[in-house]
Amino acid sequence: MIEAHSGGMKRKPGPDNPVALFKKPRQDLVPSESHALKAKEGRDLFRQVPSQGNILASSGFDRQIYLWKVYGECENYGMITGHTGAILDLHFSGDGSTLYTGSTDKTVGIKRLKGHSGFVNSVHPARRGPPLLVSGSDDCTIKTWDQRKRGPTHSFNNTFQVTGVSYNDTADQIISGGIDNTSRYGTFGEHDDFYSFGHTDTITGCLCLLMVSYALTNSMDNSLRIWDMRQSIQWTQTQFRKNLLRCSWSPDGAMIAAGSADRFVYIWILLQDESSITSRHLGSVNEIDFHKLEPIGMF
C-alpha cells in the first residue's frame, strides 16, 4: 500500500542540489551540474527521453522538435519540422526508434495521421509489441491507431474535450482525463463500462506505471493522485495555470514528479516521508521526465 505523509508535503528546497533525491551513483559521462538547454524561439512545452537514455527530445510552440545529446556537453544535434501548429505532447516508442507528437494542427505526428477535428492534446504509444498509439483531442474523442493501417482503428466519444491519455503496460487498456474533471480507465470495446474517478478541476496528465496497475493523474485542482482502482492517494501541489502540466513516474516506480506554474518541479519519494523542490525555472514547468538509466530528471 502506498502512503502519503498525513501532515501534507514536507518541503526540502534544494536550489544548490537539484537532484538530491536521486540515490544511484552517476556515470562519469553525465555532467554533475544542471544544464539549461536553449535553442527555441517559442515556449518549450514537452521533453522526453527514450529507453536507451542517450538523447533528449523537446518541443513547444515553435512547431519544431529539437534533439539533444544527454551525455557530454548536451549538444543540440538535430531538428525535426513538419507540424503547422504548436506541439502539445511528445513521446518516444518503447524501443526509442520513433517519435510520436500531438499538435494544434489537428494531427498526430508519425506519418501525419489525420482523423481528429480538434487540437490533439495528448498522445501515448504502446510500450512494446505492435506499433500502437492512443490520442486524445479537443474534438471530444479518444482514438487508437496502428501504424500498419490507414486511419484510426477505434474512436471513442467523450462528453467533453480530452486533455490526457495513456496506455497501460500491456496496451489493452487506456486511461484518459479531460475538462470534465474525470479520469476513465477501461478496455477497448467496453468504453461505456470504464471505471471513473475524479478530480475537482481539469485533468492535465495521465500515466500508468510499468508492470503495475497504478495510474498517476495530475490536475488543475492542485493535486497529483495515484489510483489502483480500489483506493487513491493524493499529493497537494501548488499553483496551476491553464497549461497542460504533465506528471511522471521514475523508471523503478519509487518516485513521482510534476511541474507547476510556480516555476518549481515537485518530486515525491513514495513509501517514504520525503519530498523535494528543484531550483526555480523562469516560467511554468509544463513537463518532466526521468532518465531511464541515469539519476537525471529533465524539466
* Ordered domains of the chain (ranges, CATH): 44-298 (2.130.10.10)
H/E element, 169 = none
The residue length of the chain stands at 299
Report pLDDT for 49: 57
Nearest to 259 by CA among 234, 278, 275, 232: 278
* pLDDT score, position 33: 55
Q: For residue 42, which phi and psi values (nearest 5 degrees)?
A: -85, 170
pLDDT at 266: 78
Write phi, then psi, for 218 (nearest 5 degrees). -120, 145
The helix/strand/coil state of 191 is helix
Q: What is the pTM of this model?
A: 0.68
Residue 139: the pLDDT is 94
Q: What integer pLDDT is reported at residue 12 of this predicted model?
A: 38
Nearest to 103 by CA among 135, 125, 78: 135
Beta-bridge partners for 85: none
Rounded to 5 degrees, what are φ and ψ at 290? -95, 140
The Cα–Cα gap between 287 and 46 comes to: 5
Contact in structure between 168 and 174 (CB atoms under 8 Å): yes
Task: Give pLDDT < 50 ranges for the chain.
Answer: 1-32, 44, 191, 238-240
pLDDT per position as a tens digit, 203-241: 888 777 765 677 888 888 887 787 775 555 555 554 445
pLDDT for the residue 54: 74
